[in-house]
Structure 1
Amino acid sequence: MLQTQEEVIALTKQLVSIESIVNTGGEKVIAHSLYTLISTFPYFSSNPSQVTILQTMNDDIERYNVLAYVKGTKGNSNRSVILMGHMDTVGIDDFTQLKDKACFPDELMDALKDEELPAPAKEQLKSGEWMFGRGVLDMKGGLASHLYLLRYYSDHPEELEGNIVLVAECDEEDGSHGILSALQTLKEWKTEHNFEYVAAINADFVSPRYEGDENRYIYKGTVGKLLPSFFITGAETHVGSCFEGLDPNFIAAELTKQINYNPELCNEAYGETTVPPVSLKQTDLKPSYTVQTALSAYVYYNFFIHSWSPKDVIEKLKEQAKIAFDKALSSFSERYKQYCQISNEPYLELPWKARVMTYEEMEHQLIKKHEDQYVVHMEEFKRELLSDETLDTRMFAARVVEEAWKWMDDKSPAIIVFYSSLYSPRIEITGKTANEQMLIDALDEAVEEMQPYYPHPIVTRNFFPYISDMSFVALSDDDEGINAVSLNNPGWGTKHFVNYQEIREINVPVINIGPYGIDAHKRLERAEMKYSFEVVPNLTHLVIQKVLNK
């Protein structure tokens, strides 16, 4: 077994000390620091062209990836394993008065000794077996494990039959510009060096799945994530005549009630089930206060998938939106009748029917009706909208739908379903290809060999349960599934674009062996050191050896 713990702890603290919050200048600083560090390794001093720092593409922020590779000298194999890890973290505002210590584990842990902590965290702090601090778990501890192995193999290329490639990427916590840009470099190296990518190992964090869960999980493949969004139009009216119109917020509320936490929208595959969707935003689009009801509302939801495609999801949510719309109209009608009874006013039948369509369907209608006039107008509108730097991809998409809606002849209340953000593809690793089966076998053997050295169960599961850059090195969706993303994202090709073909060209089976801990993204983020800094690098080392020696 490699004696890793002391060095991986030191590397983790070194990385954590560089504040690298996503979408800040810290991402640039840590990339340059990491590039400098790797360049000092003797192997890379002798082979400087084998480490590179590259700026991300199509990105509004200046930030960089660091990539490096070691060519093994044990034989002439081109088989190559990719080691992935992200350098960015979430923010540190939640550390409040300890904000200045958030990135310095030793100082932070000293300060936490004087605080009232939850019992588990207090015991773990006292034990000396856990490290606290922003990024120790998510995921600088995992990146440190990969750095250790990069240095180890660069010192011992004779133990490597094949190659290892390190990808240290930025922007994992937001838009994944890092890994999407790195794909281009991986493609170039594949051609230039004849690298045959046979496996990728990510090192993102793992946590207990429920209270009392003692398992340390390794994941084959990953959950997919979508952001289904809904533009909802109503019928505007003065609030003093409220039943003469239809408030889109009323429909939005029913829609959220229908979708939020709905078990029918959990996706089961291979005995594992996603959590249900949950609302991430709900608002109307009135710019300021008036006594008129809103013209439109906008809601979007997080949506995880294991086996459904984006096409499946949008069809399911179109059905859910129709159910919610019908319920909203039924409730409206019932309340209107009650009001008419107590106010002695005549009841009039509602003029509205439930009306739901996808963005793709609305676009088809508008292009058929208005042809180039509509197309040219919308292209110009999107170009002008790009100059508004206050709009993220989600609000940009909403504004495009809002503008397109103005061209509709029938403006009776409706729900438009679309996607407004990045699709992180699901990945299934089932053994359907030779490389997948080889990676599964190598992982199972490695776990069996390591388990006697660690007291808690090391357990493999099929889907990494959090959003990660694993999604962008392989693709399980067919073209029809991917087209449902591009055709239903109003910002596609302007504010947002992903070259899914580049992912398909890499298409390497991926697993996650990462540090174990608790409270990632929270003030008490912490990693258990023995598993994270000893078991993880050794497991990864064993998998590399078994994959490359097949």
Structure 2
Amino acid sequence: MLSSREVVLQLTDQLVKVESVVNTPGEIDVARALYELLSSLPYFQEHPDRLLLSRTVDDEVERYNVLAFVKGTKAAVSRTVILMGHTDTVGIEDFGHLKDKACHPQELMKALRQESLPPLVKEQLESGEWHFGRGVLDMKSGVASHVYLLKYYAEHPDELAGNLVLLAECDEEDSSHGVLSGIKDLKRWKEEHGFEYIALINSDFVAPLYEGDENRYVYKGTIGKLLPSFFITGAETHVGSCFEGLDPNFLAAELTRQISYNPELCDEALGEIPVPPVSLKQMDLKPTYTVQTALSAYVYYNFFTVSWSPKEVLDKLKEQAEIAFANALCVLEDRYRRYRERCNEAYQPLPWKPRVMIYEEMHRQLLEEHGESFALHMKAFKEELMQDKTLDTRMFAARVVEEEWSWMRDKSPAIILFYSSLYSPPIDLSGKDERERQLLRALEEAVEAVQPNYAHPIVAKNFFPYICDMSMVCLRDDEAGIRAVSDNNPGWGTKHYVNYEDIRDLNVPAINIGPYGYDAHKKYERMEIAFSTEIVPQLTDLVIRKLIGNEVNIDTSLQVY
């Protein structure tokens, strides 16, 4: 077993002390710090061309990935394993008055001892077996584990019958510019060095799945994620005549009631079920206060997938929106009837009817109705909108739909369904080809070897239950599935674009072996030191050795470079 505890913990603290909140200059700082650390190693001083500080492409923010590789000398073969992890973190505002200590674990833990803490947090802090701070769990200790292994093999390349690549990527916490740019570098190295990418080991954090869960998980794939979004139009009216109009916020509320936490919208594959959708934003688009009801509202929801295609999700959510629209009108009709009865006034049915459209249907209709004038107008509108750097991809898409809606001849209340952000595809490792079977065997054998020396069960599951950049290294969606994303994202090709063919070209089987802990993205973020600094690098190392290391039987028929 590699002796790793002190080294990985020290590397973790080095990375954590560089505040690297996503979409801030800290992402530059942490990449440069890691690059300088690797540059100091004798191997990369001898082979500087095997270390790269690479700026992301097609990115409005300046930031960098760090890539490095070690060529094994045990045998000159093309088999290559990728180690991947992200160096950015979420923000530190949740630390409140301890914000200045959030990235300094020793100072933070000293200050926390003076705080009133939840019982479990207090117990773990006092045990000395847990490490606190922003990024210690998600996921700088995972990157530290990878760096530890890369350093080891840089000193012992004779133990590799193949090659080991590190991709330390930025922007995992927002839009995945890091991994999408990193894929381009990996493809270039594949061509230049003849690498055959046989496996990728990610090191994102793992956590208990329920109260009292003592398992430590490794994952053989990851869930996918979509951001279905809804532009909702009503019929404006003065609030003093509220039943003469239709409030889009009323429709939005019913839509959220129908979709959020709805188990009917849980996908399922390989016996595993991700959590249902939940609202991430609900607002109207009224810019200022008036006593007129809003013209439109905007909502979007997180949506996890394991087998459903983006097209299937659109179909399912269109049906849910139709149900919500009908339910809202039913409630409104009932309340209007009862109000008229109380006023001793005659009741007349309200005129509204359910109306739900998928974005590409509306867009196609507008092109048919208005032709080139509409197309040219929207092209100019998007170009102008791109100048507003305050708009993220989600609000940019909403503004595009709002503008297109203004061209509709029939402006009766409607719900327009579209995507407004990155599609992260689901991936699984089910033994579909020999590479997958080899990686499955290596992971299974590694867990079997380590388990007797660790007190808690190490359990393999199929889908990493949180969003992670493993989604961007393998693609099973066909062209129709990807078209459902591109044709229904109003910002596609301007504010947002992903070359999914790059992912398809890489298409490497992936697993996740990452640090264990609690409260990622929260102020008590912490990792269990023993698992994160000892078991994680040991498991990862065993998988490497079974694929390209000392345990590999050298096949001289393999392509050499």
Q: Same fold (TM over 0.5)?
A: yes
CA contact (8 A) 1:231 1:415 kept: yes
Query: Which AA in structure 2 matches 1:414?
Result: A
Which sections of structure 1, spanning at least 5 residues, go unmatched?
none
| Map 1:174-185 → 2, pairs under 5 A | 174-185=174-185
Structure 1 match to 2:251: 251
CA distance in 2, matches of 1:491, 1:345: 48
- Pairwise CA distance, 1:346: 2.5
Which sections of structure 2, spanning at least 5 residues, go unmatched?
554-561
Does 1:301 pair with 2:305?
A: no
Structure 2 match to 1:547: 547
CA contact (8 A) 1:39 1:51 kept: yes
Q: Secondary structure at the match of 1:100?
A: helix
- Pairwise CA distance, 1:217: 0.1
Deviations 1:489-534 (A, max 9, x none): 0000000000000000000011000000111111111111111001
- Pairwise CA distance, 1:9: 0.9
Does 1:340 pair with 2:340?
A: yes
Structure 1 match to 2:349: 349
CA distance in 2, matches of 1:91, 1:278: 21
TM-score by length of 1: 0.99
- Pairwise CA distance, 1:349: 2.4
Structure 2 match to 1:21: 21
Structure 2 match to 1:418: 418
- Pairwise CA distance, 1:112: 1.4
| Map 1:381-420 → 2, pairs under 5 A | 381-420=381-420
CA distance in 2, matches of 1:505, 1:148: 29
CA contact (8 A) 1:73 1:161 kept: yes
CA distance in 1, matches of 2:360, 2:97: 49
- Pairwise CA distance, 1:98: 1.7
Structure 2 match to 1:448: 448
Query: Which AA in structure 2 matches 1:146?
Result: H
- Pairwise CA distance, 1:350: 2.3
- Pairwise CA distance, 1:546: 0.9
Deviations 1:161-213 (A, max 9, x none): 10011000011111111111111101100111110001000000000001110
Query: Which AA in structure 1 matches 2:354?
Result: A
Structure 1 match to 2:39: 39
TM-score by length of 2: 0.97
- Pairwise CA distance, 1:478: 1.5
Structure 1 match to 2:104: 104
| Map 1:155-170 → 2, pairs under 5 A | 155-170=155-170
CA contact (8 A) 1:169 1:182 kept: yes
Structure 2 match to 1:472: 472
- Pairwise CA distance, 1:373: 1.1
Structure 1 match to 2:142: 142
Q: Secondary structure at the match of 1:65?
A: strand
Query: Which AA in structure 2 matches 1:252?
Result: A
- Pairwise CA distance, 1:44: 0.5
Q: Secondary structure at the match of 2:379?
A: helix
- Pairwise CA distance, 1:341: 1.4
Deviations 1:39-59 (A, max 9, x none): 111110100000010111111
Q: Secondary structure at the match of 1:201?
A: strand
CA distance in 1, matches of 2:110, 2:435: 47
Structure 2 match to 1:195: 195
Structure 2 match to 1:223: 223
Structure 2 match to 1:514: 514
Structure 2 match to 1:127: 127
Query: Which AA in structure 2 matches 1:475?
Result: L
Q: Secondary structure at the match of 1:57?
A: coil
Structure 1 match to 2:375: 375
Query: Which AA in structure 2 matches 1:328?
Result: A
CA contact (8 A) 1:139 1:203 kept: yes
CA distance in 2, matches of 1:2, 1:415: 57
Structure 1 match to 2:556: none
Structure 1 match to 2:272: 272
Q: Secondary structure at the match of 1:269?
A: coil
Deviations 1:259-307 (A, max 9, x none): 0100100111111111010001111111111111111111101111111
> When the two structures are aligned, how many residues end up with a matched partner?
550
Does 1:538 pair with 2:525?
A: no
Structure 1 match to 2:557: none
Q: Secondary structure at the match of 2:352?
A: coil
CA contact (8 A) 1:428 1:476 kept: no
CA contact (8 A) 1:83 1:201 kept: yes
Deviations 1:366-411 (A, max 9, x none): 1111111111111110000011111111110000000000111111
Query: Which AA in structure 1 matches 2:338?
Result: Q
Query: Which AA in structure 2 matches 1:238?
Result: H
| Map 1:204-219 → 2, pairs under 5 A | 204-219=204-219
- Pairwise CA distance, 1:483: 1.0
Q: Secondary structure at the match of 1:281?
A: strand
Structure 2 match to 1:359: 359
Q: Secondary structure at the match of 2:131?
A: strand
Deviates more, 1:112-121 or 1:359-368: 112-121
Query: Which AA in structure 2 matches 1:235?
Result: A
CA distance in 1, matches of 2:521, 2:337: 49
Query: Which AA in structure 2 matches 1:392?
Result: D
CA contact (8 A) 1:200 1:510 kept: yes
Query: Which AA in structure 1 matches 2:359?
Result: Y
Deviations 1:118-144 (A, max 9, x none): 111111111111111111101000000
Does 1:290 pair with 2:264?
A: no
CA distance in 2, matches of 1:429, 1:407: 47
Deviations 1:444-481 (A, max 9, x none): 00000010111100000000011111110001211111
CA distance in 2, matches of 1:479, 1:95: 44
Structure 1 match to 2:66: 66
Structure 2 match to 1:10: 10
Query: Which AA in structure 2 matches 1:254?
Result: E
Q: Secondary structure at the match of 1:283?
A: strand
CA contact (8 A) 1:474 1:509 kept: yes
CA distance in 1, matches of 2:241, 2:527: 58
Q: Secondary structure at the match of 1:172?
A: coil
Query: Which AA in structure 1 matches 2:529?
Result: M
- Pairwise CA distance, 1:547: 1.7
CA contact (8 A) 1:223 1:306 kept: yes
Structure 2 match to 1:260: 260
Q: Secondary structure at the match of 1:272?
A: coil
